[in-house]
Amino acid sequence: MSKPVVVVTRRWPNAVEERLMDVFDARLNDDDHPFSPQELVDAIKTADALMPTVTDKISADIIGTAGRKARIIGNFGVGFNNIDIDAAKKHGVVVTNTPEVLTDCTADIAMILLLSVARRIGEGERHLRGGQWTGWRPTHMMGQKVSGKTLGLIGYGRIAQAMARRALGFGMTLIYYDPYVDAAKLDKSVPATAVSSIDEVLAQADFVSLHCPSTPETRHLINSESFAKMKPTAFLINTARGDIVDESALIAALREDVIQGAGLDVYEKEPKVPADLLKMNNVVLLPHLGSASTQTREAMGMRVLTNVEAFFAGKTPPDRVV
């Protein structure tokens, strides 16, 4: 029996590509170039499954392409805001994602950003490498203490709860706001207090960390009014999606000392990072590294395979979102 044809839009870890070639008639992207919209259309017209990543915009036009052959989109990523879900529903295209396997690594990066921005890690490293360090002195590069501070989580799903567990090790007080929280899936061992509004998180937290999906409802959820409600000593941490934050408002808030700093892994127009942010010392900037460990990226790829294999075996893919 012939194997299903699958198109993979970027290079995946070797171990996963090897398995892909065993299981499917896989068309790989050997030079790892970003697919153009036309290449996505060609793929969806000629393959049985499309395996994009979070940077491939799978629009309604692409899903609605006349003569589309692909019946499943196995997204390499937990966030699926890159895919027009309404169009997928309309055209009966199954969409899957890769939850759970990236929870720990993404929470690690959120905690790294929190620690780094509070304790001026990036700035300190640049200072030393730039040959500016003249020696220890009592007032040199004083940052903010983390232990005992309040961490406010906006969105309290898997990654937020994993970050909360890490923050407990730093003796932090935990509060969260999540109107969609699934009580059955809450980690009851974490003493986090639910508050009834985002404003309460903004007003009380020393660190505000974002963990909600990117949807029309959450676009620019954090804006100039939000920054005005935060403590002037507070920090914003974003490992979720760039468009949850109004980036221009963030730049103004940082420049005018409305808040003290920010740790960012995601941006509104990736891979573009505003020049203003690049010049600021009170921000730590990472290139969307949340899930970027060998183990996690392999697990994400294997998760895509499990979903797509299940689909072609006539079963419901375990991580079906549509």
For the bound state, the minimum distance from the C-beta of residue 102 to ligand DGY, rounded and expressed in Å, comes to: 5
Q: Is 95 near ligand DGY (CB under 6 A)? A: no
The stretch near ligand DGY (CB under 6 A) out of 73-81, 83-91, 131-139, 162-170 is 73-81
Site string for ligand DGY, 9-48 (x = CB under 6 A): ----------------------------------------
For the bound state, the minimum distance from the C-beta of residue 319 to ligand DGY, rounded and expressed in Å, comes to: 12
* Spatial contact of 310 and 302, defined as CB atoms under 8 Å apart: no
Between 102 and 111, CB nearer to ligand DGY: 102
Between 116 and 291, CB nearer to ligand DGY: 291
Q: What is the dihedral of CA 197, 114, 151, 106, to 10 degrees?
A: 70
Between 102 and 192, CB nearer to ligand DGY: 102
Q: Is 159 near ligand DGY (CB under 6 A)? A: no
Nearest in space to 173 (alpha carbons), one of 198, 191, 199: 191
Nearest in space to 207 (alpha carbons), one of 144, 151, 167: 151
Nearest in space to 263 (alpha carbons), one of 238, 226, 233: 238
Between 206 and 247, CB nearer to ligand DGY: 247
**Binding-site member from 4, 52, 74, 79 for ligand DGY (CB under 6 A):** 79
Q: Catalytic one among 158, 288, 297, 303?
A: 288
**Binding-site member from 16, 44, 47, 54 for ligand DGY (CB under 6 A):** 54
**Binding-site member from 157, 290, 301, 317 for ligand DGY (CB under 6 A):** 290
The pair of structure tokens assigned to 318 is 């375990």
User: 270 catalytic, yes or no?
Assistant: yes
Q: Catalytic one among 241, 247, 268, 297?
A: 241
Q: Is 102 near ligand DGY (CB under 6 A)? A: yes
For the bound state, the minimum distance from the C-beta of residue 266 to ligand DGY, rounded and expressed in Å, comes to: 7
The pair of structure tokens assigned to 120 is 């001026």
Q: Is 310 near ligand DGY (CB under 6 A)? A: no
Q: Is 78 near ligand DGY (CB under 6 A)? A: yes
Q: Catalytic one among 270, 298, 309, 320?
A: 270
The pair of structure tokens assigned to 124 is 């300190």
For the bound state, the minimum distance from the C-beta of residue 76 to ligand DGY, rounded and expressed in Å, comes to: 8
User: 68 catalytic, yes or no?
Assistant: no
Residues 6+ apart with CB under 8 A from 143: 118, 119, 120
Between 175 and 244, CB nearer to ligand DGY: 244
Buried residues in 129-157 as b, exposed as e (16+ CB within 10 A): eeeeeeeeeeeeeebbebeebbbbbbbbb
User: 256 catalytic, yes or no?
Assistant: no
Between 10 and 165, CB nearer to ligand DGY: 10
Q: Site residues (CB under 6 A) for ligand DGY?
A: 54, 77-79, 102, 290-291
What residues are annotated to the active site? Answer: 241, 270, 288
